[in-house]
Chain A
Amino acid sequence: MSELFRRDPRAQWIARNRLHPLHQAIAAGPVYGPSGLLRKNVHGLGFIGPNGLKRIDRSGNSSGDASGRRGSGPAQAAVVLPLHQVSKPDFTIVVALDLVSGRLNGHDKDTLGLAQQLANRNGANGVVIAVAFGELKDDSLDHAGVDRLIHLSGNQYYDYDPEQRSRDLSVIVKQFNPQHILLPDSINGGGDLGRRLAAKLKLRPACGVWKLDHDSIVCRGSAGKTDITRALSRLLLVMEECSEPVSETRHEQLALTVESNKVKSLIVDHGNVEVDPNAIPLGEAGFILSGGNGIADWPGFHQAATTLGATEGASRVAVDDGFMPRTRQVGATGSWVTAQVYIAVGISGAIQHMQGIGQCDKVVAINTDEGCDMVKRADLSAIGDSSEILASLVDLVLQHKAGENKDVA
């Protein structure tokens, strides 16, 4: 009923009459013509550029000048995706998630994407049950394609205990009798768990699946040298990017509960062992402190790396000048790193170096030059003398460690 356009002759009259006291208020909003058409004031568009010419920026980047904008700004902010509901599923698909530090990673999302693809192909009506062990901090499971969620969160799941997990998973498989069981074929536990489950259930798994093609799958064989095309099997260990992750729907994420009994484990976790950070290959290291031309105090740099427990890296200049060995070089000619945190000290950011750190998660720049490329790339930039900043950072870390020791004692 409200779709019907009703003229408001008085408002139209005010919009026409520039001398009316209410004219400003009404003309600022959308103005409709007598037939209900939206009238745009083309003269209000754009802004006057520095050389006195009128400029219209349609990219939406210009800020502050609201008069030229179309009125769709706030509506775009929160898009509510359509909810995908499965009330009476014909079959189930079980996915066991890796959940590295309690969050979904790309591999998990791709696995869920493939599970949804299997559940809904050829107009089928399947439901995806995700199994999460231990810590679960992610709240975006509904957007990743989880229709049902089984969260097992006893104390036994916080340690490395693959036998407990594979036993629970086999109980879940027996209870729901899924058409397919999917796990990420990863080194974060999924590959191990999937193979344990396969041996337990006497199922033949398809490992390294990277493509689903109607009723056949393509797997990597011979340690990555061949492609094996085979029939779709029940247990699939899938590779990263096997499918697009779910992005267009929201899912119900209804909680399911299953019984789980603690089993006496033959593998006891004794925790992670301290490793020498410089023994970790640079390409694998999770935390890198990298030095470049801007470092005057190299002993201080090495001390900072030792205190922080970071792997040392270097830019090409530092290596060429003989301050660091060639094996430590980060960049196009050296190692391509994948660190979670990369601290670049006195590195301006040549393009070859930026290529090398392309996959790093968080980049911190310590530099005297505010305008350098590294500062533009960095998530956090500290502008100042690098040796002073590193020294005070070392002090803070030492204080923090001393405080921790006091708490323990």
Chain B
Amino acid sequence: MSLNHELSIVTLVSVGEHPASGRARRAEQDARAVELGLKLVGDKLQTIYAGSASDKQATSALRSYLGMGLSEITLLDLPEQADAVIGLVEHFKSSQCPDIILTGVRAESGESSGMMAYLLAEQLGMTVVASIADILSIDVNAKHAEILQALPRGQRRKVKVSLPLVASVDMAASEPRQSAFGPAMRGQINAETSHSEDDIERLQWQTAPAKKRPKRLKIVKAKTAADRFKAATAKAAGGGGKVVYGTPESAQAIFDLLKEEGML
């Protein structure tokens, strides 16, 4: 696709967390959002991060986004416990509202409720479309975009969404480019002060490392001891599998099954 220069696209990035080591890194979905944005508008892409400017680990993780070829990242300086949505809405209301806002589906740290895209869309009066894999085409004059949405089981759905829109980018989108060290060091992080409100409700929560969820037990509601014994010892039977012989009969039987399951 040729680059579109009339379009304004903003990606919202967050700082990810490595699942094993817990070290700050670029978030996987946000990096895909940046990749998609770079594909659509090249270096006109604007990138915003809402968070604390004094957090050294976070700012060094932000550099790995800059290493993808961005020239600058706008950092809205918020305290640790602040609600990022309020700051972002304020920012978009004070400047011009972009055509497309791209985010990841959910953050890799904190509450990670996945509400950011929906709240921004509601408060800025934009359309929201969830877990997209690609943006196929954008018509700025007719004010709509054709978007490929990721569905379960590797399926894709094409939807036509009117602009302006907020889209959350799924892991099914194309992989982000590697981050290069030189551009990462050269890129600018411009801190802006921002209005902030504390997220009071969140202060009352207790957070602990995730416990392994108990495996669901097979509950046997047997009335007699013999039934319980059978349920505990019996091997799971195939459930009366049908056996067919002969080539045409077999092919027909398999065809019927595929048709019944809706696979054809």
- B154/A60 in contact, CB under 8 A: no
A55 within 8 A of B: no
Nearest CB of chain A from residue B107's CB, rounded to whole Å: 7
- Write the chain A residue with the least CB distance to B223: A76
- A379/B250 in contact, CB under 8 A: no
A59 within 8 A of B: yes
In the bound complex, residues from chain B placing their C-beta under 8 Å from that of A229 are 205-208
B185 within 8 A of A: no
**Docked complex Cα distance between A247 and B220 (Å):** 11
Stretch with Cβ within 8 A of B (4 or more), from A21-29, A143-151, A191-199: A191-199
- A378/B161 in contact, CB under 8 A: no
In the bound complex, residues from chain A placing their C-beta under 8 Å from that of B96 are none
- Write the chain B residue with the least CB distance to A187: B152
Interface hits, A211-228 → B, CB 8 Å: 220-228
Given A268-B159, A272-B155, A279-B154, A378 contacting B241 (CB threshold 8 A): yes
- B153/A284 in contact, CB under 8 A: yes
A280 within 8 A of B: yes
- B243/A375 in contact, CB under 8 A: yes
- B210/A383 in contact, CB under 8 A: no
Interface hits, B184-218 → A, CB 8 Å: 201, 204-211, 213, 216
Given A223-B108, A273-B158, A389-B247, A397 contacting B255 (CB threshold 8 A): yes
- A228/B251 in contact, CB under 8 A: no
A39 within 8 A of B: no
B242 within 8 A of A: yes
In the bound complex, residues from chain A placing their C-beta under 8 Å from that of B261 are 340-341, 362
Stretch with Cβ within 8 A of A (4 or more), from B33-41, B64-72, B111-119: B111-119
In the bound complex, residues from chain B placing their C-beta under 8 Å from that of A287 are 263
**Docked complex Cα distance between A380 and B251 (Å):** 11
Assign chain B's interface to a size class. Answer: 35 or more
In the bound complex, residues from chain B placing their C-beta under 8 Å from that of A383 are 243-245, 250
For A225, give its contact among B157, B205, B210 (CB under 8 Å): B210
- A60/B257 in contact, CB under 8 A: no
For B243, give its contact among A191, A207, A381 (CB under 8 Å): A381
Q: Residue-by-residue, is A353-369 near B (CB-CB < 8 Å gives 1, otherwise 0)?
A: 00000000010101000
B97 within 8 A of A: no
B17 within 8 A of A: yes
Given A192-B130, A205-B115, A400-B255, A381 contacting B207 (CB threshold 8 A): no
- B157/A226 in contact, CB under 8 A: no
B74 within 8 A of A: no
A392 within 8 A of B: yes
A376 within 8 A of B: yes
Q: Residue-by-residue, is B222-248 near A (CB-CB < 8 Å gives 1, otherwise 0)?
A: 010011011000000011011111111
For A272, give its contact among B109, B151, B252 (CB under 8 Å): B151
Stretch with Cβ within 8 A of A (4 or more), from B1-9, B43-51, B87-95, B121-129: B121-129
- B153/A285 in contact, CB under 8 A: yes
B11 within 8 A of A: no
- B157/A188 in contact, CB under 8 A: no
- B110/A198 in contact, CB under 8 A: no
Nearest CB of chain A from residue B96's CB, rounded to whole Å: 20
- B119/A396 in contact, CB under 8 A: no
Given A340-B261, A389-B251, A231 contacting B112 (CB threshold 8 A): no
Given A199-B115, A271-B158, A275-B156, A59 contacting B226 (CB threshold 8 A): yes
**Docked complex Cα distance between A85 and B111 (Å):** 38
B254 within 8 A of A: yes
For B239, give its contact among A224, A225, A379 (CB under 8 Å): A379
For B247, give its contact among A375, A376, A385, A397 (CB under 8 Å): A385
B60 within 8 A of A: no
- A286/B244 in contact, CB under 8 A: no
Given A273-B148, A364-B254, A375-B243, A59 contacting B230 (CB threshold 8 A): yes
- Write the chain B residue with the least CB distance to A163: B127
For A380, give its contact among B17, B111, B257 (CB under 8 Å): B257
B221 within 8 A of A: yes
- Write the chain A residue with the least CB distance to B213: A210
- A273/B157 in contact, CB under 8 A: yes
- A230/B205 in contact, CB under 8 A: yes
- A267/B160 in contact, CB under 8 A: yes
Task: Name the residue among B107, B109, B250 with the largest chain A CB count within 10 angstroms.
Answer: B250
Q: Residue-by-residue, is A307-342 near B (CB-CB < 8 Å gives 1, otherwise 0)?
A: 011100000000000000000000000000000110
In the bound complex, residues from chain B placing their C-beta under 8 Å from that of A244 are 219
A contacts, CB < 8 Å to B:
58-61, 76, 101, 160, 162, 187-188, 191-192, 195-196, 198-200, 204-205, 207-208, 210, 220-231, 241, 244, 247-248, 266-273, 275, 279-281, 284-287, 308-310, 340-341, 343, 362, 364, 366, 370, 375-385, 388-389, 392-393, 395-397, 400-401
The 8 closest A-B pairs by CB, nearest first: A280-B154, A382-B250, A392-B251, A199-B118, A199-B122, A270-B158, A207-B113, A268-B160
B contacts, CB < 8 Å to A:
17, 19, 22, 106-115, 118-119, 121-122, 127-131, 146, 148, 151-162, 201, 204-211, 213, 216, 219, 221, 223, 226-227, 229-230, 238-239, 241-248, 250-255, 257-259, 261-264
